Amino acid sequence: MSVTRKDKRQAWEAIIKQCENSDHRTVDFCREKALNIATFYYWKKKLSDEKPPVSAFIEVKNPSNDGAGLWFDFGNGARLVIDSGFDQITLKRLMGTLEEC
């Protein structure tokens, strides 16, 4: 059974994510996993070039002017809906959490 391009891509995505989530420098991570550092950087660049750039802006919509609330479309299919009665303190905490992501 041969390895498909999709399998390779998925494997390298997982490896790169592991590296990013580790406390190791890239060179140390690659050494521990017996990975060629040039191959690692090749795949990291290849995969990052394929992804559309993430915008620092999100679309904010208020469907009506009757105080019905807001929704935020993040462009990746995720949507945050905030009803008009949403607590301001909780909203500030939520925004702080989202900034950390």
The band of 91, judged by pLDDT with boundaries at 50, 70 and 90, is: confident
Sequence ranges of the domains in the chain:
5-50, 59-100
Please compute the mean of the pLDDT values over residues 74-101 and round it to a whole number.
75
* pLDDT tens digits along 46-72: 988 776 656 555 666 555 555 557 777
> Model's pTM, two decimal places?
0.49
67 HSE (CA, 13 A, CB side):
3
48/26 Cα distance (integer angstroms): 16
